[in-house]
Chain A
Amino acid sequence: MSDLKHLPLKALHEAQGAKMVPFAGYEMPVQFAAGVMAEHLHTREKAGLFDVSHMGQVLLPLSADAALETLVPADVIGLKEGRQRYGLFTNDAGGVLDDLMIARRAGDLFLVVNASRKDHDIAHMRAAIDGVEEVTDRALMALQGPLAETALKRMVPSVAEMKFMDVAQVAWNGVELWISRSGYTGEDGFEISVPADAAEGFASALLAMDEVMPIGLGARDSLRMEAGMPLYGNDLAEDISLIEAGQAWAVNKARRAGGDREGGFPGAERILDEMQNGAPRRRVGLRPEGRAPMRGGVALFDAAEGGTQIGVITSGGFGPSVGAPIAMGIIDSAVPADITLYGEVRGKRLPAAQTDLPFHKPDYKR
């Protein structure tokens, strides 16, 4: 445990009764006293505060927009100041190296990447882009849920004016907050980057509010699964193409076939071809019958007995708001969308219905 890196809110988490676990090299709260189920449901009903300080925060010069486009299929050049958009680093085979958020601000581009891929992503960008700067002196929090605005605007009134995927730099108590209206739960909410030495005061002020409860990584995972959001290392991987992973929407118009800047990112040939002609596999939502969860790695078959393996579950567990097990998987595109699939759990094939994603419909402030 001594090799684990600690983050600015560690003492506060412990005071809040967190169960700390190693995650991506950091000591992180997996749950608090209320437990995963209660934390999940509280976030859907009111507002939950997540510490995601382990994620990578990166600044690029504004002039790097064209260079960043050589690594992602997002339209970075066309991204307006004060706006954020979702991107994916692709490889030459059209697979995914990581996903990230890209914001254009008045003076720079601000990126947030996954904790487990931070070192990889920074090296990957430095090979193509000048002026890549990792931000190491700021905590990152997410405040998520239908009452997130109600809570945050008591401290920062201007957040009420922000729309989904807006970003802003706002003064609070003598420090600058970097706020985006976004998140990873399928709820309205904000992600807030706070200078490390002000992080505990900021989090404590939110946690003192009746609506706000601290939420651990356990509920973060069940919330994002219900929202149908993929996770790098599970649903996104180097050997699953961006189109197979269901992320065609993240190839922005300017980068598509016939767009102003068609292609020009790693794996563009395969990705643009699959957008027009279909991909060999597709991502599906699954609702296992009964109560047994089907977790990542469970093999999927097209028959209760015999038949062939047609795919695998990439993420799965229990959906507290759905009240039943949920899963996402990658399967052969030839499998009809209306047949029941079977997941092999502890040697037994259990039925699971294919379903549209998400399991829980988001309610963003557009």
Chain B
Amino acid sequence: MKFTEEHEWLRADGDIVTVGITEHAATALGDVVFVELPEAGTQVAKDDDIVVIESVKAASDIMAPLDGEIVEVNDALADTPGMVNDDPMGEAWFFKIKATDLSQMDEYMDEDAYKEMID
């Protein structure tokens, strides 16, 4: 698993990468009340804002961590956004992206480096 400075986690299975936000990010956001996801089939470029998360406190964006195509989104988040607080690293994944260039993963942190960053 890899981690971005924007507090996303990425889990690769072949060239399909599942993306969510970390427990640290979910706690900092507070109670999530709304999630807007891109549509499956959307072509995205790294650093495009593609997800909106609103908590009781504020709205935030999540960026595409890689170039590629969104192949699946977690529709359950639309009806139960609170999942993001309950299980951010598991059930509450956001989208799966078919990466154009998996080597873009290399620049991201491993778990130890991420833990060091948030300490």
Q: Which A positions have Cβ atoms within 8 angstroms of B? A: 30-31, 35-37, 40, 218, 222, 291-293, 295, 317-318, 320, 325, 346
- Other-chain contact of B34, A36, A40, A293, A320 (Cβ < 8 Å): A293
Contact A36 B78 (CB under 8 A): no
Contact A36 B30 (CB under 8 A): yes
Question: Which residues of the partner chain A approach B30 to less than 8 Å between Cβ atoms?
Answer: 31, 35-37, 218
From B34, B56, B78, B81, residue with most partner A Cβ within 10 Å: B56
Bound together, the chains give a CA A345 to CA B115 distance in angstroms of 35
Bound together, the chains give a CA A221 to CA B31 distance in angstroms of 15
Contact A291 B31 (CB under 8 A): no
Q: Which B positions have Cβ atoms within 8 angstroms of A? A: 30-31, 33-34, 36, 52, 54, 56-57, 59, 78, 81
Contact B57 A36 (CB under 8 A): yes
In the A-B complex, the 9 residue pairs with the closest CB atoms? A37-B31, A318-B33, A36-B56, A291-B34, A292-B34, A293-B54, A318-B56, A35-B31, A36-B30
Bound together, the chains give a CA A97 to CA B28 distance in angstroms of 34
Closest to A324 in B: B33
Question: Which residues of the partner chain B approach A222 to less than 8 Å between Cβ atoms?
Answer: 56
CB distance from B75 to the nearest CB of A (A): 13
Question: Which residues of the partner chain B approach A317 to less than 8 Å between Cβ atoms?
Answer: 56
- Other-chain contact of A36, B31, B52, B54, B59 (Cβ < 8 Å): B31
Question: Which residues of the partner chain B approach A218 to less than 8 Å between Cβ atoms?
Answer: 30, 56-57
Contact B33 A325 (CB under 8 A): yes
- Per DSSP, chain A at the interface is mixed
Closest to B54 in A: A293
Closest to A318 in B: B33
Bound together, the chains give a CA A31 to CA B36 distance in angstroms of 25
Closest to B78 in A: A291
Bound together, the chains give a CA A295 to CA B58 distance in angstroms of 9
Question: Which residues of the partner chain A approach B34 to less than 8 Å between Cβ atoms?
Answer: 291-293, 318, 325
Question: Which residues of the partner chain B approach A320 to less than 8 Å between Cβ atoms?
Answer: 31, 56
Contact A292 B56 (CB under 8 A): no
> Could you show 26 A-B contacts with beta carbons less than 8 Å apart?
A30-B57, A35-B31, A35-B56, A36-B30, A36-B31, A36-B56, A40-B56, A218-B56, A218-B57, A222-B56, A291-B33, A291-B78, A291-B81, A292-B34, A292-B36, A292-B54, A293-B33, A293-B59, A317-B56, A318-B31, A318-B33, A318-B54, A318-B56, A320-B31, A325-B33, A346-B36
Bound together, the chains give a CA A199 to CA B54 distance in angstroms of 35
Bound together, the chains give a CA A35 to CA B56 distance in angstroms of 9
CB distance from B28 to the nearest CB of A (A): 9
Closest to A292 in B: B34
CB distance from A22 to the nearest CB of B (A): 14
Question: Which residues of the partner chain B approach A40 to less than 8 Å between Cβ atoms?
Answer: 56
Question: Which residues of the partner chain A approach B59 to less than 8 Å between Cβ atoms?
Answer: 293, 295
Question: Which residues of the partner chain B approach A37 to less than 8 Å between Cβ atoms?
Answer: 30-31, 56
Contact A346 B56 (CB under 8 A): no
Question: Which residues of the partner chain A approach B33 to less than 8 Å between Cβ atoms?
Answer: 291, 293, 318, 325
Bound together, the chains give a CA A35 to CA B78 distance in angstroms of 21
Closest to B81 in A: A291
CB distance from A189 to the nearest CB of B (A): 21
Bound together, the chains give a CA A318 to CA B30 distance in angstroms of 12
Question: Which residues of the partner chain A approach B31 to less than 8 Å between Cβ atoms?
Answer: 35-37, 318, 320
Question: Which residues of the partner chain B approach A346 to less than 8 Å between Cβ atoms?
Answer: 36, 52
Question: Which residues of the partner chain A approach B78 to less than 8 Å between Cβ atoms?
Answer: 291
CB distance from A122 to the nearest CB of B (A): 31
Question: Which residues of the partner chain A approach B52 to less than 8 Å between Cβ atoms?
Answer: 346
Question: Which residues of the partner chain B approach A292 to less than 8 Å between Cβ atoms?
Answer: 34, 36, 54
Bound together, the chains give a CA A291 to CA B81 distance in angstroms of 9
Bound together, the chains give a CA A81 to CA B116 distance in angstroms of 60
CB distance from A316 to the nearest CB of B (A): 11
Question: Which residues of the partner chain B approach A35 to less than 8 Å between Cβ atoms?
Answer: 30-31, 56
Question: Which residues of the partner chain B approach A295 to less than 8 Å between Cβ atoms?
Answer: 59
CB distance from A40 to the nearest CB of B (A): 8
